[in-house]
Structure 1
Amino acid sequence: MATILYRIGRWAFRRRRLVGGLWLGVLVLAVAAAALAPAAEEEDISMPGTESQKAFDLLDERFPRGNSQGAEARLVFQAPDGQRVTATENKAAVEDALGSLDGDDQVASATDPYATGAVSEDGTIAYSTITYAVDTVDLTEPTKRALENAAGQARDAGLTVEIGGSALDAEESPGGTTEIIGVAVAAVVLVLALGSLVAAGLSLLTAFLGVAIAFGLVSALAVPLGLTSTVAILALMLGLAVGIDYALFITSRFRDERAQGREPEEAAGRAVGTAGSAVVFAGATVCIALVGLGVVGIPELTKMGMGGAGAVALAVLVSLTLVPALFGFFGRRVLSRAVRRTTPPGSGRPHPVAATAGRPGLGIRWARFVLRRPVAVLLVAGLGLGAVALPALALELGLPGDESKSVETTQRRAYDLLSEGFGPGFNGPLTVVVDLSESKDARATTDLVVRTVRGVDGVESVGAPVLSRTKDTAVLTAVPQTAPNSGETKDLVHTIRGAVSDTAAATGAGILVTGTTALNIDISEAMSDALIPYLTVVIGLAVLLLMVVFRSVLVPVKAALGFLLSVGAAFGVLVAVFQWGWAAELIGIEQTGPVMSLMPILIIGMVFGLAMDYEVFLLTRMREAYVHGASPDEAIVNGFRHSGRVVAAAAIIMISVFAGFIGMNSPTIQTMGVGLASAVAFDAFVVRMAIAPAVLALLGHQAWWLPRILNRVLPNVDIEGEALGRRAPASLTEQDAAKRRFPVGRS
C-alpha cells in the first residue's frame, strides 16, 4: 500500500494543475447538481418488521387516502384567564380565524372544535385540525402565511393561539454561529500546530472542498434516494472534521520529510505513502463502521451511515491527491516561518529540528512521565473514565417530538397547551388497527376490541372505530393517561398488545397497535436489542484490522478495550446532559428526556473509526521505531516525539468542529455534537495518550508479539512504509541509505 500511495503522491505533485482542475470541476458539477435538484421531503423514521410498521403498511393499503397523504396543522386556542373558549365572543373569534382559511386550494379540511367536541372539560382550551392536500415540503409560502395570519387574527381578539403539527416544520439549516466558531477554533489550532498560515489554510481549503462536494451530492440525490437534512448535516460534520485531520497528518509528515533534507516531490510521495497509508486505513474503518449501520434495519439510519461514509471517503481521496498537489503550488510556504528563515531556498541540507536540542517538547516529557509511573497513570485514567461512564447504566432511549423543542417555538407551546387541556397522553395517541378480513363477525369483533382496550389500566379514552370502505379494517384511537415519552406509556403499549392477543386468537382478526408513540417505542427497543451485537461486530473488526496493521495481538485488544471506555464515558455524558439535565442550559437544552434511540449505535459507528485514527497515527510511529531497533520505551517516546503534537491538534480540531454543532436547534444534531465531542476528547487525550502508553510500557516487548501462524496468515499492508525505507533518495548519504536498506528488525 505504501508504495502505491507513494507513487500517487509524487504523481499528484507533478501533475498538480491537472489534479487541481479535476477537483475544481467535480466541485462545480456537485454544486450545479445541488442547485438544480428539487427540495427533498423530510421522511418519518420507519422500522420494517416491527408491529407498528406492519400496521402502518396495512393502513396505507386499506386507507390509501389517510393522513399520511398531506401535511397537518393544529390551531390551539386558549381563552383569557377567567373566561371560557366557548363564550360567545371567543367562539366567534375562533370561527372567524378558521373561516379565513377558506378558499386556500391547498387546505383539504379544517375541523370545527365545537362540532367535533375538541374542547377541554374546563372549557378553556380548544383545537382545530387543519389537513392539507399536499406534503409539508410542497406547502407554499402564502398557505403558511395564511395559517399564521389566522392565528394572529384570533390573538388580536384576545385569545392565546399556538400552531402545532407538521405544516410549519422546517428543514434545519446546516450553517450557524456555533459552527463558525468551531471552524475558527480549528483554524487557530492549525496555525499554532503548523506555524504557517499557508499550511493551515491548505488543510482548511481541502476539507471545505471535500465537504462542499459531499454536501452537493447529498442535496442532489436527496429526492431519488430519500435523503433528509440530517444526512446532509452528518456528512457536513464528519467530512469537515476528518478532512481537516487527514490533511493535517499528511502535511505534518511532508514537513518532517522536508526536515530530513528530501526534495519536495520525494517528500510529498513519502508523506502520502506513510501518513497517507494511515489515512486510508483510518478512513476505511470509519466507512466500514458507518456502512455497517445498515444491518440494524432502519432505513434512515442506513442513509445516515451511507451519507457519512461517502463524506469520509471523499475526504480520504482529497487528502491523497489534492493535498500533495497543493504542496507543489505553495512550495516552501507550507514550511514554518522559522524553517524558511534558517534554510535558504534550494538548500539540500536538512532543516533544523527543534526537538533535537534544548528542552524536550511537551509530548516527550509526557511520554517519559507515563513511562516512570505507568501503573498510577493507568489506574487514574481508567478509574476516571469508569466514573464518567457510570451514568450510562441509566441510559433510556426514545425519539424526540415537539416536547423536546424550545419553549420559544409555537409547536412546543401548542404541545404544552394540549397537554394542559386534554391530558399528557393526548399528544401521543395510540392507534389500534383491526384486520377483519379473516373475522366471521366484523362488528362483534370490533366491539370486543374496543371493550378490551378500554379495560386496560392507563387508557384515558378510546375513540369510536372507523371502518374502511370495504369494511375489512377498523381503526380506533386510544389516548394514554401518561406522556408519550414516559416509561408508563411504554409499558401500556405492551399491556394493550398482550390484552388484545387473546381477542385476536378467539376471533381470527389481526390486531396491531401502532401510532407515532408505539413506533418510537418499537424503534427504541430494536436499537437496544441491536446495541450489543453491533458493538460486538465493531470490536471484532477493530481487533482484526489492528492485528493486520500492527502485527500484534495485545495492541488490538488494548485498543478495543480503550474504545469501550471512550464510548462508555461518552454515553455517560449523554445521560447526564440530556436525561439528568446537567449543564443542559449552557447548550440550550430546555427539556430533558430519553436519549434519541438512534444515537448509541450511530455514535459507536463513528467513534470506532475516529478512535482508530488516533491509534493508528500514534502507534505507527512507535512500531516504526521498534522494528528499526528501538527499545519498547524508546519507541513510545519516539511516537510522541513525532505524532503527539499532531494527534493532540487533530483531536482539538475534531472536538471543536463537533462542538460547533451543539448550538443547532435540532435534538438529533445536538446529541451527536455532545456525544462525538466528548467521545473524541476521552479517546484522544485519556485513552490514546495516557492509557495506551501506560499499557505498552507495562507489556514491553510482549506488546508487539504475534504468533508465527498469524504472522504467516495475515497480509502485510506495510502501513508504516517500511518498503519506502529501502528507497535511497539522492539527498541521503550512502550510510543513511545502507541503514534503510538493511533495517534492524525483530522476528
Structure 2
Amino acid sequence: MAKYLYRLGLWAAKSRKKVLLGTLVVLIALGIAALSLGPSFSSELTIPNTPADKAGKVIGEAFGAAANPSAKIQVVFKAPEGKTLESAELQTVITDTLDAIGQDSGVAGVTNPMQLKNLSADKRIGYGEVSFKTAAGEVTEATKETIKHQVDIARNAGLQTETRGDVELSKGGEFPVEVIGIIAAFIILAITFASFLAAGLPILSALIGLGGGMLGIVLCSTFIEIQSVCLSLAAMLGLAVGIDYALFMITRFKQQLAKGFSVQESVAIANGTAGSAVLFAGVTVVIGLLGLSVARIPFLTMMGISSAFCVITTVLLTIVVLPAILGWMGHKLTPERENKLFKKSKANKQKASSSKWGLFVTKRPLFASFASIILLAVIAIPFFHINLGLPSDGTTKAKDTTERKAYDLLTEGYGVGFNASLIIGAQVDKPAEDSSQAIAKIQAEIGKLPGVQSVTPAIPAPSGKLYLMTVMPQTGPDDTKTKDLVKEIRNFSNETEQSDHIQLLVTGTTAMNIDIAQKLNDALPVFAALIVVLAYIILVLVFRSLFIPLKAVLGFLLSLGATLGFVVFVVQDGHLLNVFGFPASGPILAFLPVILIGILFGLAMDYEIFLVSKMREVYAHTGDPRKAILDGVRDSGKVVTSAGLIMISVFFGFMLAPDAMIKSIGLALAFGVLFDAFVVRMTLVPAVMSLMGKSAWYLPKWLDRILPNIDVEGESIMEEIGKKKNKKIA
C-alpha cells in the first residue's frame, strides 16, 4: 500500500495542474447539481416497528388518518395580567389571527381555543391548532411568513402569542459556528508550523474535502431520506479529521524537506508514509461510523453513512489533492523560511525540551498510570445514572425561541404532563354491547395508576373495534417516572386482554421517544462489543503485538466512560449549564452514546496509530523499549497534541450552536478527544508501556507468520530510497 501511495503522491505533485483543475470541475459540477435539485432533509428521528409506532399506525387506520401526513402546529395564547381569553377584545384578536392564517393557500384549516374548549383553569391560557395541506418539510416559506406576521399582529395587540409543533418558525439567521473552530485551528497550526502559509494549507485541504462531502450529501438527500442532524455531524467530523490528516501529512513533508529531499520527492515520501497512516486511520473512523448500522435503526444508520462519506472524501482529498497543492506551493515551506519566524534561542530551547514529557512519564510510570486511571474513573461516576431520551422543546430550544415559550406556556396552563400526553388505543377483540362499559372501567383503572393526572373520555372509532383516550401524566416527557407510567399501562394491558379481551396500545410523541431510547439502549452493548473486538484486531495487525492493542482498547473504554460521565454531569445533572450554554438540563440524547462510541473509537485509533507506530519503528531498529517510547513521544507527541487541540477547537465551535442536540454532540466529542488524546494517549500509553517493557511487543512467532504485514510507517519505501541513493554513490 505504501508503494502505491508513494507513486500516487509523486504523480499528483508532477500533475498538480490537472489534479487541481479536475477537483475544481468536480466541485462545480456537484454544486450545480445540488443547487438545481435543492436540499431535502428530514427533521424526524423515528424508528419503525416499535410498540408506539405500531400502535400509531393501528389508531391512524381506525380513525382514517393513516394516509394523512399533513403537519400541524399549536398557536398558544396568554392573556395579559388582569384579563382572560374570554374577554370580547381578546376573542376578536384570537379569531382574526387564526382566520387570517387559515386564508393562506398552504393551510388546510384552523380551530380556535373556544372550539377546542381548552382554556386553562384561570382562563388566561389556551391554544388553537393550524393544520397544513402538506408534510412539515413541504410547508413553504411564504406560509411560514404569513403565520409569523399574524403572530406579530396579535402580540402588538397585547396578547402573548407563541407557536410550536411540526413546523418550526424560529430558524434562520444563525451564525456559522464552523468558522469559530476554523479560526482556532488556524491559530494552533500557525503556532505548530510557525508559518501562516503552512497553517492555511491543512484548512484549505479540509475545506475542499468537506465541500465535496457536503455537496454529495445534499445531492443524495433528494433521493433518500437523510435527517438534517446528519449534515451537522458530517460537517463536524469531516472538518476535524480533514485538518488533522493534513497536519500529519504536511509535518512529514517538512521533515523530508529538512533532510534534503526535493519538493516532489518529499511529497511522494510523505504520501507513502504519513499517507499510509492517514488512509489506515481514516478506515478505522469509517468502520466505526458504518458500524452504527448494526443497531438497525434507520436514522442512526444514515448518520453513520453520511459521516463516513464525508470522512472518505476527506481522506481521498488528503492523499490526492493535498500532494498536488504541496507540489505547487511546497517550495515556500522550506525549513530556512520557517526559521525566520523563530529566534534561534527559541528553536534550540524547543529542541532541547522536546522529550521532557516523555522523560517525566517514563520515570514515574506507576504514578502516571494510577493518576490517569483514577482521574478518568472519578469523572465517569455520573455515567451510572444516565437517563437516555430524545429532545423536547423544553430542553433543546433556547429560551428566546417561540417554540420554547409555547412549551412553557402550555406547562404553566395545564401542568408539566401536558407536554408528555400519551395516546391510548383500547382495541376490542370482539365488539359487544357491554364493550363500552368495559372501556369505561379500564379508563377508570388507568386514572388510578401512579403518575396519572387525568384521562379523557374514550372516543369510539367508526368500526367500534377501537376506543381512543388521552392520558396526561403528572411528570414531563423527559422524566423517568413518565417512562415508568408507559410500562405500567403496557403491563396493565396484559390484565385487560385476559379479563376483557381488550388490548391497550400506547403511542404519542412521548411514547415513541421512550421506545426509540429503549431500542438504542438495547443496541448499545452489542455495538460497543463489536467496536472493542474490531479495534483489538486492527491494532494487532498494525503493531504486531498482543498487549499494546489490549492497552489501547482498555484506554478507549476509560476515555469513553469519562466522556459519558462528564456529559451526564453537565447535561443531565445540570452542572455548568450556563458555562456551556445549554437552555436547561434534560436526558442524554438517546443516540449520543452510540454515535460517541463510533466516532471516538476512530479518533482514538488515529492517535494510537500516529503515536505508537513511531515507537514500533524505533523498537524494530533498536530493540530498546524505553528509547522507542521517548522517540515516539518526542517525534509524534507534537502532532498528536496539535491534532487533539484542533479537534477540540472544531468540536467546541459546534458547542456554540443554538441547537442543543448539536451542542451536546459537540460537548461529548470535544471532551472525548481531550480525555483520550491527552490523558490516555499522551500519558497512560507511555506509562503503561514503560511498565511492560519488551513484553509490550510480544507476539507469538506462529501468529507473526500468519498476519499480513501492514507497513503503516512506509519502512519499505525508505529502504528502497536508501538503496537507490547507495547505488548512485557507488
- For residues 575-614 of structure 1, the aligned pairs below 5 Å read 575-614=568-607
Q: CA deviation at 1:10?
A: 1.6
Paired residues of 1:136 and 1:169 also in contact (CA < 8 A): no
- Name the residue aligned to 2:415: 423
- Render the CA deviation track for 1:438-458: whole Å, top value 9, x for unaligned: 656664564454344333232
- For residues 398-477 of structure 1, the aligned pairs below 5 Å read 398-404=389-395, 405-436=397-428, 443=436, 446-477=439-470
| 3-state SS, counterpart of residue 727 of structure 1 | helix
Paired residues of 2:102 and 2:130 also in contact (CA < 8 A): no
Q: Distance in 1 between matches of 2:308 and 2:126?
A: 47
- Name the residue aligned to 1:44: 44
Q: Work out whether 1:371 is the aligned partner of 2:377.
A: no
| C-alpha distance 355-407 of structure 1, shift in aligned 2 (>3 A) | closer
Paired residues of 2:258 and 2:334 also in contact (CA < 8 A): no
Q: Work out whether 1:22 is the aligned partner of 2:22.
A: yes
Q: Distance in 2 between matches of 1:215 and 1:91?
A: 48
Paired residues of 1:439 and 1:445 also in contact (CA < 8 A): no
Paired residues of 1:459 and 1:481 also in contact (CA < 8 A): yes
| C-alpha distance 502-365 of structure 1, shift in aligned 2 (>3 A) | same
Q: Which moved more, 1:640-649 or 1:507-516?
A: 507-516
| C-alpha distance 359-80 of structure 1, shift in aligned 2 (>3 A) | closer
- Name the residue aligned to 2:286: 287
Q: Which moved more, 1:93-102 or 1:652-661?
A: 93-102
Q: CA deviation at 1:20?
A: 1.4
Q: Distance in 2 between matches of 1:47 and 1:438?
A: 31
- Name the residue aligned to 1:185: 184
Q: CA deviation at 1:101?
A: 2.5
Q: Distance in 1 between matches of 2:167 and 2:695?
A: 63
Q: Work out whether 1:133 is the aligned partner of 2:133.
A: yes
| C-alpha distance 579-358 of structure 1, shift in aligned 2 (>3 A) | closer
Q: Work out whether 1:222 is the aligned partner of 2:215.
A: no
Q: Which among 550, 565, 577 is matched to residue 572 of structure 1?
A: 565
Q: Which moved more, 1:574-583 or 1:615-624?
A: 574-583
Q: Distance in 1 between matches of 2:723 and 2:695?
A: 37
- Name the residue aligned to 1:201: 200
| 3-state SS, counterpart of residue 478 of structure 1 | strand
Q: TM-score, normalised by structure 1?
A: 0.92
Q: Distance in 1 between matches of 2:34 and 2:318?
A: 23
Aligned CA RMSD, in angstroms, stands at 2.5
Q: Distance in 1 between matches of 2:176 and 2:54?
A: 42
Q: Distance in 2 between matches of 1:285 and 1:339?
A: 33
Q: Work out whether 1:490 is the aligned partner of 2:483.
A: yes
- Render the CA deviation track for 1:54-78: whole Å, top value 9, x for unaligned: 2233345445535962221211111
Q: Distance in 2 between matches of 1:172 and 1:524?
A: 29
Amino acid at match of 2:197: V
Q: CA deviation at 1:334?
A: 2.7
Paired residues of 2:648 and 2:670 also in contact (CA < 8 A): yes
| 3-state SS, counterpart of residue 695 of structure 1 | helix
| C-alpha distance 265-285 of structure 1, shift in aligned 2 (>3 A) | same
Q: Work out whether 1:642 is the aligned partner of 2:635.
A: yes
Q: Distance in 1 between matches of 2:663 and 2:352?
A: 36
Q: Distance in 2 between matches of 1:280 and 1:260?
A: 24
Paired residues of 1:425 and 1:479 also in contact (CA < 8 A): yes
- Name the residue aligned to 1:249: 248
Q: Distance in 1 between matches of 2:198 and 2:357?
A: 26
Q: Distance in 2 between matches of 1:438 and 1:714?
A: 65
Paired residues of 1:196 and 1:337 also in contact (CA < 8 A): no
Q: Distance in 1 between matches of 2:169 and 2:559?
A: 35
Q: Distance in 2 between matches of 1:502 and 1:598?
A: 33
Q: Distance in 2 between matches of 1:183 and 1:41?
A: 25
Q: CA deviation at 1:473?
A: 3.8
Q: Distance in 1 between matches of 2:19 and 2:157?
A: 65
Paired residues of 1:199 and 1:335 also in contact (CA < 8 A): no
Q: Structure 1: where are the runs of 5+ without partners?
A: 343-352, 738-747
| 3-state SS, counterpart of residue 400 of structure 1 | coil
Q: Distance in 2 between matches of 1:466 and 1:237?
A: 48
Paired residues of 1:425 and 1:484 also in contact (CA < 8 A): yes
Q: Which among 380, 390, 401 is matched to residue 389 of structure 1?
A: 380
Q: How many residues align?
A: 726
Paired residues of 2:427 and 2:465 also in contact (CA < 8 A): yes
Amino acid at match of 2:380: A
- Render the CA deviation track for 1:231-254: whole Å, top value 9, x for unaligned: 111111111000011111111111
Q: Distance in 2 between matches of 1:335 and 1:466?
A: 79
- Name the residue aligned to 1:114: 114
| 3-state SS, counterpart of residue 224 of structure 1 | coil
Q: Distance in 2 between matches of 1:475 and 1:146?
A: 34
Q: Distance in 2 between matches of 1:450 and 1:516?
A: 21
| C-alpha distance 466-240 of structure 1, shift in aligned 2 (>3 A) | same
Q: Distance in 1 between matches of 2:635 and 2:111?
A: 70
Paired residues of 1:163 and 1:414 also in contact (CA < 8 A): yes
